[in-house]
């Protein structure tokens, strides 16, 4: 102490060693240590809970909406392409409903792309896909407009433009939209994992803090024979409250987030995929008639669009070749509609899926009748059965689409409800943990201070 | 059946062109079940050797078989089915195209198919139209997916070894189609470094392979797809038959033909090599189609579809026969 050239830390250590030899010194050290442990506990808890809370917020406010939006972008683009093809098939002046539907699809896709560009926090993949979509969408609409202008003049060039536009859609836009959807859905999954991860560090710090407080109180009892030290007792109570709150809040949040994932997000994903599959099947059905057998699978020589229709339907319904391709009454196990039915809960969730199942069956029967007509040379009849309004496959498709839309809205509401509950379970925990830990630290210091005052 | 086959065999023996193939067909005839074979494997040993032999012997591919209205197995097959399956184009303006206003297939080739259907089945509308791309014309016939191909198909030796052609029903030649302000002067070295578009499997593609004039070649499924590429600036010129190029120019006033036609090509209806009776029957229909001078169905169809873009034709090409 008398040597001024001693380094500060060594001076501190020397002083501490000196202090530890007396009871007041020891008490001072214990008080400081308790305050530190409690502060660490409060800090770690606040930090870990706010992390999870932020992840839960991200699920509700960012990643789930972005994933749903990406699915909508894909759907609008695919629908625009299908609508353009069916407008071409109707011949002559495109019906107003067809035109409006195309315009709405393009408007929705552009709007959601702007939103996605603004909200995507992130990675290069998402940005790159959004850039591709932004670049290619005007090219696509330009080609469709040229196709229309030529159609109106009665020139077959219109059909060639439409084919080229559709090639761009299927070759560039839809793959980009699909990659965007995958990326956003992957982010949703990782946000879920982050939100549900147990806050181990905070739990460990809480147990250490309780242990330290218990030890300090036992020491106090052994030395003074006094059972209660009010300050330390208050500190223990506050710590226990924080720890219990943490465990309970997190357990509830996890359960609700699990619930929102299982009954909301997963349902939504399956339903979105089902809707997209049905849409692709519809597009393939139209293109089979547009191409009129000119696009063949190089390996088998079969019509490529018809083969693609069957593939889409297999994914959606798994109609199975054993039922003669006319569709059974129940979706095959593992097919999208089967999974959607299994994930749906409540009548409001199950009914639209059940109706969609019936309508897909109807669609498959109508499709097979239209194919028979087409193959036997009744092209006009086939056209009527596919695009003719009443009792056409188009009508069945529209019903399937709106039923799946209804199921999606229901599941979206379910998701939101459960996810909000999960997020709510963590509300106040960050601030509460910080305040209570501060109170506990104060209590500990005061409790030790009371003992210390007896030495003065 | 037997006598039929024997007569055929005798005929084939005196036929100079493609005699090996014809004899093989005649020998095979008694086996025919009347069904369209999915895989023409029965002629495999001969067919494998025939094309090169026939192509080597081929001097006048436009000479076809004499017309006859006797029903053979192919005609009976079509009659039993009640419909003629015809491979056509839906992209060749005024030849075979889907009229966007009505959604109906129309054009010169389509009229011809209707005339054949009327003759065979008594009803011009008993036709199943199948759209085939340029490169799929021969496979479609070989796989029995269609009875006839009426799709601006040029008759040449290489193809005559694989499919049977009717007599020629239109004469044209290859020409280059370019934007009006292009510095390209024709199928010559002014193409160097340019991008030329042609339909895959077309005679234009063959020409470009033979003599590309240092141009890069872009192939597409249908010749009309070339006009899309030209308008979008992805190609600098389109090489196709003058008759088809005229159809493209009719859809876009800012493009035009350049240079003289540098090949002579004749369009024929293509059929399976084995369907000899059908070839004769189609030739009979074509005879009728040509008959009647200025008012013949041929001239009527010409005036209706082609005269505006392909001026100055006064009569159909004369048929040539090899037997």
pLDDT of B222: 86
* Interface pTM, i.e. ipTM: 0.77
Residues 6+ apart with CB under 8 A from A1: A11, A14, A15
Describe the crossing of helices A23-58 and A200-224 by its angle, rounded to 10 degrees.
160
Q: Any bridge partners for residue B216, and if so which? A: B195
Q: How far is C-alpha B320 from the chain's CA centre?
A: 16
| CB within 8 Å: B93 and A377 | no
Q: E-strand spans in B202-260?
A: 216-220, 237-241, 255-258
Chain A contact for B272, CB < 8 A? no
Of A90, A164, A301, which is closest to B143 when you measure between CB atoms? Answer: A301
CATH of B174-258, one of 3.40.190.10, 3.40.50.11710, 3.40.50.720, 3.40.718.10: 3.40.190.10
A370 is a domain residue = yes
Segment A432-447 mean pLDDT: 92
Q: What's the pLDDT tens digit per position in A167-201?
A: 899 899 999 999 999 998 899 999 999 999 999 99
* Mean pLDDT across chain B: 84
| CB within 8 Å: A157 and B251 | yes
Q: How confident is the model at residue A295 (pLDDT cuts 50, 70, 90)?
A: confident
The residue of chain A with its CA nearest to that of B106 is A156
Q: List the Cα angle B100/B102/B107 in 5-degree steps.
A: 75
Chain A contact for B263, CB < 8 A? no
Segment B45-66 mean pLDDT: 66
CATH 3.40.190.10 domain extents, chain B: 59-171+265-306, 174-258
| CB within 8 Å: A379 and B129 | yes
Q: What is the DSSP annotation of B125-146?
A: T-EEEEE--GGGHHHHHHTTS-
Q: What's the pLDDT tens digit per position in B3-33?
A: 454 454 444 444 444 433 333 333 333 333 3
A16 is a domain residue = no
pLDDT of B29: 37
Of B91, B132, B145, which is closest to A156 when you measure between CB atoms? Answer: B91
Segment B170-179 mean pLDDT: 94
A248 is a domain residue = yes
pLDDT of B44: 38
Q: How confident is the model at residue A3 (pLDDT cuts 50, 70, 90)?
A: low
Q: How many CB atoms lie within 10 A of CB A225?
A: 7
Alpha-carbon distance of A387 to A167, in angstroms, equals 22
Q: Any bridge partners for residue B255, and if so which? A: B179
Q: What is the DSSP annotation of A304-366?
A: HHHHHHHHHHHHHT---GGGTTS--SSPPTTSHHHHHHHH--HHHHHHHHHHHHHHHHHHHHH
Describe the crossing of helices A346-375 and A336-343 by its angle, rounded to 10 degrees.
170
User: What are residue A403's phi and psi, to 5 degrees?
Assistant: -70, -40
pLDDT of A319: 63
Alpha-carbon distance of A336 to A317, in angstroms, equals 7
The residue of chain B with its CA nearest to that of A383 is B103
Q: What is the DSSP annotation of A428-440?
A: THHHHHHHHHHHH
| CB within 8 Å: B100 and A160 | no
Classify the phi-psi angles of B174: left when phi > 0, otherwise alpha if psi is within -120 to 50, otherwise beta: beta
* Mean pLDDT across chain A: 88
* pTM of the entire predicted model: 0.80
| pLDDT surpasses 90 at B123 | yes
Q: Which residue has the higher pLDDT, A121 or A151?
A: A151
pLDDT of A10: 84
Task: Give the range among A56-65, A128-137, A353-362, B5-14 with minimum mean pLDDT.
Answer: B5-14
Q: Any bridge partners for residue B270, and if so which? A: B149, B165
Segment B151-161 mean pLDDT: 94
A446 is a domain residue = yes
Contacts of A90 in chain B (CB under 8 A): 103
Q: Which CATH number applies to B59-171+265-306?
A: 3.40.190.10
Nearest Cα of chain A lies from the Cα of B279 at a distance, in angstroms, of 22
A10 is a domain residue = no
Q: Which residue has the higher pLDDT, A320 or A215?
A: A215
Q: How many CB atoms lie within 10 A of CB B277?
A: 23
Q: Dihedral sign, CA of A413, A415, A420, A421?
A: positive
| pLDDT surpasses 80 at A2 | no
Describe the crossing of helices A230-259 and A393-425 by its angle, rounded to 10 degrees.
180
Chains A & B: contacts with CB separation below 8 Å? 88
Contacts of B136 in chain A (CB under 8 A): 294, 296
Q: How many CB atoms lie within 10 A of CB B321?
A: 12
Nearest Cα of chain A lies from the Cα of B134 at a distance, in angstroms, of 9
pLDDT of B42: 36
pLDDT of A87: 83
Mutant choice from B100, B126, B147, B234 vs A, greatest count of A C-beta within 10 A: B100
Q: What's the pLDDT tens digit per position in A65-123?
A: 898 899 999 999 999 998 988 888 776 677 888 899 999 999 999 999 999 888 876 67
Task: Give the range among A20-29, A74-83, B218-227 with minimum mean pLDDT.
Answer: A20-29
**Count of domains for chain A:** 1
| CB within 8 Å: B136 and A150 | no
By percentage, how much of chain A surpasses pLDDT 90? Answer: 54
Question: Using the 8-state DSSP alphabet, how is residue A95 labeled?
Answer: P
pLDDT of B5: 47
| pLDDT surpasses 90 at A324 | no
Chain A contact for B108, CB < 8 A? no
Segment B292-320 mean pLDDT: 92
Three-state secondary structure call for residue A379: helix
A39 is a domain residue = yes
Contacts of A163 in chain B (CB under 8 A): 225
Q: How confident is the model at residue A17 (pLDDT cuts 50, 70, 90)?
A: confident
What is the H or E stretch that residue B85 is in?
Answer: strand B84-88
A3 is a domain residue = no
Task: Give the range among A293-302, A393-402, B219-228 with minimum mean pLDDT.
Answer: A293-302
pLDDT of B267: 96
| CB within 8 Å: B225 and A164 | yes
Alpha-carbon distances, residue A81 vs A296, A308, B50, B194, B296 (angstroms): 20, 15, 47, 33, 45
A92 is a domain residue = yes
pLDDT of A88: 81
pLDDT of A454: 85
- With CA atoms as reference, report the closest residue to B71 among B281, B270, B285: B281
pLDDT of B184: 93
Task: Give the range among A55-69, A316-330, A341-355, B51-65 with minimum mean pLDDT.
Answer: A316-330
| pLDDT surpasses 80 at A456 | no
pLDDT of A442: 93
| pLDDT surpasses 50 at B47 | no
| pLDDT surpasses 90 at A326 | no
Rg from Cα positions in chain A:
33
- With CA atoms as reference, report the closest residue to B266 among B286, B294, B293, B238: B286
pLDDT of A4: 55
Task: Give the range among A144-148, A352-356, A380-384, B12-16 with minimum mean pLDDT.
Answer: B12-16
Segment B206-224 mean pLDDT: 92
Chain A contact for B123, CB < 8 A? no
Q: How confident is the model at residue A377 (pLDDT cuts 50, 70, 90)?
A: confident
pLDDT of B136: 86
pLDDT of A47: 94
Chain A contact for B132, CB < 8 A? yes
Alpha-carbon distance of A432 to A42, in angstroms, equals 9
């Amino acid at each position: 102490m008398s040597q001024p050239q001693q380094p500060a830390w060594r001076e501190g250590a020397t002083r501490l060693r000196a202090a530890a030899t007396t009871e007041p010194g020891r008490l001072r050290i214990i008080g400081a240590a308790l305050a530190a442990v409690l502060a660490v506990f409060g800090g770690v808890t606040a930090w870990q809970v706010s992390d999870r809370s932020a992840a839960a917020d991200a699920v509700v406010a960012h990643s789930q909406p972005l994933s749903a939006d990406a699915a909508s972008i894909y759907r609008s683009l695919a629908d625009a392409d299908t609508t353009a093809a069916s407008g071409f098939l109707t011949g002559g002046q495109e019906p107003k409903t067809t035109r409006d539907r195309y315009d709405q699809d393009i408007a929705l896709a552009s709007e959601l792309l702007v939103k996605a560009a603004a909200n995507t926090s992130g990675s290069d993949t998402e940005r790159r896909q959004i850039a591709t979509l932004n670049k290619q969408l005007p090219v696509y609409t330009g080609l469709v407009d040229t196709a229309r202008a030529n159609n109106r003049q009665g020139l077959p060039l219109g059909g060639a433009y439409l084919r080229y536009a559709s090639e761009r859609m299927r070759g560039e836009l839809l793959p980009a939209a699909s990659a965007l959807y995958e990326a956003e859905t992957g982010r949703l999954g990782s946000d879920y994992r982050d939100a549900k991860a147990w806050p181990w560090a905070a739990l460990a710090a809480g147990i250490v803090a309780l242990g330290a407080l218990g030890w300090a109180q036992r020491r106090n009892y052994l030395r003074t024979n006094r059972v209660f030290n009010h300050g330390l007792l208050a500190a223990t109570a506050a710590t226990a409250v924080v720890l219990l709150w943490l465990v309970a809040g997190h357990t509830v949040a996890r359960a609700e987030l699990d619930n929102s994932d299982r009954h909301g997000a997963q349902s939504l994903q399956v339903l979105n995929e089902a809707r997209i599959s049905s849409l692709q099947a519809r597009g393939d059905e139209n293109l089979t008639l547009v191409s009129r057998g000119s696009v063949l699978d190089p390996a088998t020589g079969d019509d490529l669009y018809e083969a693609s229709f069957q593939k889409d339907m297999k994914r959606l319904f798994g109609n199975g070749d054993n039922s003669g391709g006319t569709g059974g009454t129940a979706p095959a196990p593992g097919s999208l509609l089967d999974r959607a039915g299994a994930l749906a809960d409540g009548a409001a969730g199950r009914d639209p899926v059940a109706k969609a199942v019936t309508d897909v069956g109807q669609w498959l029967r109508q499709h097979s009748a239209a194919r028979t007509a087409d193959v036997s040379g009744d092209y006009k009849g086939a056209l009527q059965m596919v695009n003719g309004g009443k009792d056409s496959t188009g009508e069945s498709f529209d019903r399937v689409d709106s039923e799946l839309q209804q199921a999606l809205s229901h599941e979206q509401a379910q998701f939101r409800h459960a996810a909000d509950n999960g997020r709510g379970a963590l509300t106040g925990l960050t601030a509460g943990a910080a305040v209570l830990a501060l109170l506990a630290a104060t209590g500990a210091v005061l409790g030790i201070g009371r003992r210390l005052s007896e030495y003065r | 059946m037997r006598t039929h086959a024997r007569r055929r065999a005798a005929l084939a023996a005196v036929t100079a062109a493609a005699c090996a193939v014809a004899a093989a067909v005649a020998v095979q005839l008694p086996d025919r079940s009347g069904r369209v074979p999915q895989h023409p494997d029965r002629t495999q040993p001969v067919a494998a050797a025939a094309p090169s032999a026939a192509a080597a012997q081929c001097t006048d591919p436009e000479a076809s078989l004499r017309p006859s209205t006797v029903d053979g197995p192919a005609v009976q097959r079509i009659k039993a089915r009640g419909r003629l399956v015809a491979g056509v184009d839906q992209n060749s303006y005024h030849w075979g195209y889907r009229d966007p206003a009505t959604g109906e297939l129309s054009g010169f080739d389509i009229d011809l198919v209707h005339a054949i259907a009327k003759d065979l089945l008594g009803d011009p509308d008993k036709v199943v139209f199948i759209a085939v791309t340029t490169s799929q014309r021969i496979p479609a016939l070989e796989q029995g997916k269609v009875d006839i191909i009426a799709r601006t198909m040029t008759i040449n030796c290489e193809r005559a070894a694989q499919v049977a052609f009717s007599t020629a029903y239109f004469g044209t030649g290859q020409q280059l189609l370019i934007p009006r302000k292009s510095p390209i002067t024709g199928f010559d070295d002014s193409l160097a470094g340019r991008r030329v578009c042609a339909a895959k499997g077309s005679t234009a593609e063959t020409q470009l392979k033979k003599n590309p004039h240092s141009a890069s070649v872009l192939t597409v499924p249908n010749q009309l797809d070339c006009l899309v590429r030209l308008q979008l600036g992805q190609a600098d010129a389109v090489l196709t038959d003058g008759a088809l190029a005229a159809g493209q120019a009719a859809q876009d006033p800012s493009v035009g033909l350049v240079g003289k036609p540098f090949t002579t090509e004749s369009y024929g209806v293509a059929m399976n090599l084995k369907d000899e009776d059908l070839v004769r029957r189609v030739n009979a229909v074509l005879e009728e189609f040509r008959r009647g001078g200025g008012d013949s169905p041929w001239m009527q169809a010409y005036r209706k579809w082609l005269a505006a873009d392909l001026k100055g034709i006064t009569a159909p090409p004369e048929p040539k026969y090899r037997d």
